[in-house]
Amino acid sequence: MQISKVLSVCAMSATMVFGASNLVQKVKDNGIEAIPTSQLELLKLIDDPKDPITDAKVELGKKLYFDPRMSKSSLISCNTCHNLGLGGADGIAAAIGHGWTANPAHLNSPTVYNSAFFKAQFWDGRSPHLADQAQGPVQAGPEMAAPPKLVEQRINSIPEYVNEFKFAYGDNVKISFEKITSTIAIFEKTLITPSRFDDFMNGNDNALSKAEKEGLEVFMDKGCAACHNGVALGGTMQPFEVAGKYKFASLGGFAGDKNGMVKTPTLRNITETAPYYHNGAIWTLKEAIQDMGSTQLGITINDAEAAKIETFLKALKGRKPVITYPELPESTAKTPKPDAKL
């Protein structure tokens, strides 16, 4: 999987160029940004010069992402909860992990697509970037439940993985837990999905229909862009229940970080990532839109307005990079055995 192939999907956004419109400027004034068409500009947003994206790292990270041996039971991979065929999420209200355990706070699995654009990771924002975030679910008891030492033993016991790490990082690489998880994060950085909305913002005035443009106007006029902005149209920490009580707040009891802040979910590919909200209590976009109006904005969004906003949100469904399921390397006699016990 070459980086040029992974990122070239973004270049499709520049097929038709028209003059900037008033609507485009209004979107920018609301703090919303498009995914760049230039690979160089995109890399400025997602790449780390200290650990740059390379084809070898991406391929290795992809294998690790899909490898269930990253979990204690050898049954759960990153893709289990962040399924690339299901919009990067799992389609259930609360994540299910080790021992068929539901997330104790009834937290919903957020999409992994476009997560490289998020300013904060996890619902409580405790991780600043993907490389740090990738360590959490692997170790968490209700998720993959694998201690770092076990992960290191598993990966280092497989000669093909050892050789791939050397190819990606050099012969002197130490295959540590941090190196393993940061390699997964490098693969995740390539999961970018430019949409027709980006095409419109990058110059193709015909990329959005009249109804979608109208929905975009309503989206901004109602104040939705106050939280859903940036390249991700989300991904930042924001106060929750600003204007009213969330009707499903008691489900799971999650109250955000110590300041009551909650990470705003991305709206990209939102039609693919139901159920909604941090605890997955709402299953339709219409209800999610209207509840956000009352909970966050203190306004009533009527059915007609919600329908217009939903029409716009559908235009945020993006073009996914083509991911071929990898053939994973064989375990050896030294590979620690699966352990599904709680």
Angle, CA of 216, 319 and 79, to the nearest 5°: 115
Q: Known binding site for heme c: residues?
A: 78, 81-82, 98, 224, 227-228, 292
Q: Are residues 185 and 200 in the same domain?
A: no
Give tens-digit pLDDT for 242-275: 999 999 999 999 999 999 999 999 999 999 999 9
Domain identity same for 163 and 298: no
Q: Kindly report the number of other CB atoms within 10 A of residue 139's CB atom.
A: 17
Same domain, 66 and 140: yes
pLDDT higher than 90, residue 301:
yes
- Whole-angstrom CA distances from 189 to 113, 114, 256 are 8, 7, 25
Q: Is residue 141 part of a domain?
A: yes
Same domain as 177, residue 158: yes
* Residues tagged in the binding site annotation: 78, 81-82, 98, 224, 227-228, 292
pLDDT at 15: 42
Write out the residue range of the structural domain in which residue 227 sits: 15-37+194-314
User: How many percent of the chain have pLDDT more than 70?
Assistant: 94
User: Which of 153, 172, 189 lies at the terminal end of a domain, its last residue?
Assistant: 189
Q: What is the pLDDT of residues 182-219, one digit of tens each?
A: 999 999 999 999 999 999 999 999 999 999 999 999 99
* pLDDT higher than 50, residue 227: yes
Percent of the chain scoring above 90 in pLDDT: 93
Find the helix packing angle between 22-29 and 210-221, rounded to 10°: 30
Over residues 128-134, the mean pLDDT reads 92
Q: Would 101 be classed as within a structural domain?
A: yes
177 with 291, same domain? no
**What is the pLDDT averaged over residues 97-106?**
94
Find the mean pLDDT for residues 217-239: 97
Residue 278 lies in a domain: yes
Stated pTM of the model: 0.92
Q: Please pick, among 33, 41, 59, 143, the residue that the annotation labels catalytic.
A: 143
143 is known as an active-site residue: yes
Residues 72, 202: one domain? no
Residues 163 and 252 in one domain: no
User: Does pLDDT of 163 surpass 90?
Assistant: yes
Do 298 and 204 belong to one domain?
yes
Within-domain flag for 76: yes
**Domain assignment present for 214:** yes
Per-residue pLDDT for 18 more than 70? no
Residues 85 and 114 in one domain: yes
Number of domains making up the chain: 2
Give Rg (Cα) of the chain.
Answer: 21
Query: Which CATH number belongs to the domain containing residue 283 in this structure?
Result: 1.10.760.10
Across the strands, what pairs with 338? none
Q: Do 291 and 223 share a structural domain? A: yes
Tokens 């399924």 correspond to what residue? 83
Is residue 97 within 8 Å of 222, Cβ to Cβ?
no
Identify whether residues 168 and 68 lie together within a single domain. yes
- Kindly state whether residue 332 falls inside one of the protein's structural domains: no
Weakest-pLDDT range from 12-26, 223-237, 319-333: 12-26
- pLDDT band for position 342 (50/70/90)? confident
Residue 297 lies in a domain: yes
- In this structure, the answer to whether residues 79 and 150 fall within a common structural domain is yes
